[in-house]
């Protein structure tokens, strides 16, 4: 303590001597000699630096020697490694590739509608019939003619095989039979258009045309809307900066605000094209729909696990400060003693991803370091602190 008092007296004496042989600031300014003024400013700045350095030393010595000095109380957390997952939060819409309007392929009156809205149907199931305009009767006649032609051809062939009859008779019978067979197939194909069938398994979402209505192809008027709710997916536009992190197989949590329900799934497909308009690429996420309550165009919030680190060092965001150079720093407690007193040291850090109120630290601290938490905003470099539980 005696040495400290002597040092303070020396500094005071040094500052008092400055006004002796040297000219005062006021006299230099009145003389207007700019070079002398600059020289005086440099001299005073050097003295200020010396005094500031010495005052810091005195403060440190006082803190170390004065038993009655007030020591800042802080809490500290030990830097440890733990698994860390970062999630990218985006919004998308539910889609289905099997959401189609069923149009008529034949003009005529809608004779019978076999299904109703909300009914589950299977692929190929008959949904409705259209008046065929007598095509069924014509088909029966063609089938009878084809059967006769077949019998004639078979008999002519047996005769021809026995070298009985002329070749032209055999060829005519064969040609007539084949022509009628083709006519039967064409008529069957045309008649099949009078029956409207389900293109895939799904639910009848809307019966657009009522029984008895005249329908016609090419008018743009559909008869049914059918939707398959079991093959649902979400389309999301992802910023191009996440191109490496968002890949097929990444885990995804999907939340539906309207349903207040969540499902867990994975990224199924990522697009190979960057949209120049918004600098994003499209991804597709399949959605299980066991309850059947997820509908097309439903809004969904998706959280994509784009980054994982099994041994990450995480610290609270609240302990991180930033200096004038834009560098992030924290304070650590070092040289702790039996009384839990330690010295605060500033550490420049490099941070990574953020999750909630935690930040991943990539550089600057090691496992086992004590990071000052509560009181971090009040400590100074080399300040003595006491760590409390």
d(CA 120, CA 226): 9
Beta-sheet pairing, 72-74 with 384-387: parallel
pLDDT at 98: 85
Q: What is the pLDDT of residue 39?
A: 84
E-strand spans in 18-167?
72-74, 76-78, 81-96, 99-102, 108-113, 120-121, 126-130
19 pLDDT above the threshold of 50 = no
CA dihedral sign, ordered 212, 216, 219, 222: positive
Residue 11 has pLDDT above 80, yes or no: no
Instruction: Retrieve residue 261's tokens.
Output: 């329900």
Domain boundaries, the chain: 2-65, 72-83+310-387, 88-98+227-308, 132-193
Query: In whole angstroms, how far apart are CA 14 and each of 3, 18, 141?
Result: 16, 7, 129
In 108-245, alpha helices (H)? 135-161, 167-192
Task: Reduce the DSSP state of residue 350 to 3 states and report it.
Answer: strand
Structural element, H or E, at residue 302: strand 299-316
Summarize pLDDT for 39-68 with one digit per residue, the tens. 888 888 888 888 888 887 776 666 666 554
pLDDT at 4 over 60: no
Residue 89 has pLDDT above 50, yes or no: yes
pLDDT digits (tens, 9 = 90+) for 221-233: 999 999 988 888 9
- Closest Cα to residue 177, out of 140, 159, 141, 152? 152
Q: What is the pLDDT of residues 134-157, one digit of tens each?
A: 888 888 888 899 899 899 888 888
Tell me: the pLDDT tens digits for 313-335?
Answer: 999 888 999 988 899 999 998 88
Closest CA to 378 of 73, 78, 77, 66: 73
Show the tokens assigned to 66: 């004065």
Tokens of 260: 């207040």
- Contact predicate 310/352, CB 8 Å: no
The verdict on pTM exceeding 0.85 is no
CATH number for the domain formed by residue range(s) 132-193: 1.10.287
Per-residue pLDDT, 18:
43
Domain covering 72-83+310-387 in this structure, CATH number: 2.40.420.20
Could you tell me which residues come within 8 angstroms of residue 110 by beta carbon, excluding any fewer than 6 positions away?
104, 128, 129, 130, 131, 209, 210, 211, 212, 213, 214, 215, 223
Read off the pLDDT of each residue in 191-209 and give the average, rounded to a whole number: 91
Rounded CA-CA distance 87/273 in Å is 23
State the residue for tokens 């639910």. 203
Class of domain 88-98+227-308: mainly beta
pLDDT confidence of residue 16: 46
The residue ranking higher by pLDDT, 8 or 125, is: 125
pLDDT tens by residue, 333-370 = 888 777 888 889 999 999 999 888 889 999 999 998 99
For residues 129 and 22, give the distance between their C-alpha atoms in angstroms, rounded to a whole number: 115
Average pLDDT, the chain: 86
| Separation CA 74–CA 340 (nearest Å) | 10
């Amino acid at each position: 303590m005696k040495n400290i008092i002597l040092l303070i007296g020396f500094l005071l004496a040094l500052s008092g001597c400055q006004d002796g042989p040297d000219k005062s600031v006021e006299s230099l300014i009145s003389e207007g000699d700019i070079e002398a003024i600059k020289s005086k400013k440099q001299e005073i700045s050097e003295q200020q630096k010396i005094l500031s350095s010495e005052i810091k030393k005195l403060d440190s010595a006082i803190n170390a020697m004065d038993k009655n000095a007030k020591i800042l109380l802080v809490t500290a957390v030990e830097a440890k490694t733990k698994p860390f997952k970062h999630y990218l939060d985006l919004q998308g819409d539910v889609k289905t590739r099997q959401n189609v309007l069923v149009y008529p392929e034949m003009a005529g009156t809608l004779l019978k509608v076999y299904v109703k809205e909300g009914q589950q149907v299977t692929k190929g199931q008959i949904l409705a019939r259209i008046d065929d305009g007598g095509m069924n009767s014509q088909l029966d006649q063609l089938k009878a003619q084809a059967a006769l032609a077949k019998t004639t051809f078979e008999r002519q062939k047996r005769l021809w095989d026995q070298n009985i009859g002329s070749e032209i008779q055999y060829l005519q019978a064969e040609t007539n039979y084949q022509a009628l067979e083709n006519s039967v197939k064409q008529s069957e194909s045309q008649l099949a258009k009078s029956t409207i069938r389900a293109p895939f398994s799904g639910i009848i979402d809307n019966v657009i045309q009522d029984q008895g209505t005249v329908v016609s192809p090419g008018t743009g008027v559909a008869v049914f809307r059918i939707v398959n709710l079991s093959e649902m997916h979400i389309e999301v536009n992802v910023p191009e900066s996440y191109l490496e992190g968002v890949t097929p197989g990444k885990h995804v949590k999907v939340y539906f605000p309207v349903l207040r329900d969540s499902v867990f799934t994975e990224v199924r497909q990522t697009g190979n094209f960057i949209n120049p308009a918004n600098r994003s690429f499209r991804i597709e996420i399949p959605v299980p729909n066991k309850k059947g309550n997820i509908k097309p165009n439903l809004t969904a919030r998706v959280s994509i696990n784009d980054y994982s680190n099994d041994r990450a060092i995480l610290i609270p965001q609240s302990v991180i400060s930033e200096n004038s150079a834009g560098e992030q720093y924290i304070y650590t407690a070092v040289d702790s003693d039996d009384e839990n007193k330690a010295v605060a040291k500033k550490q420049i850090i490099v941070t990574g991803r953020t999750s909630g109120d935690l930040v991943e630290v990539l550089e600057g601290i090691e496992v086992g370091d004590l990071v000052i938490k509560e009181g971090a905003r009040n400590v100074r470099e080399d300040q003595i602190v006491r760590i409390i539980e």
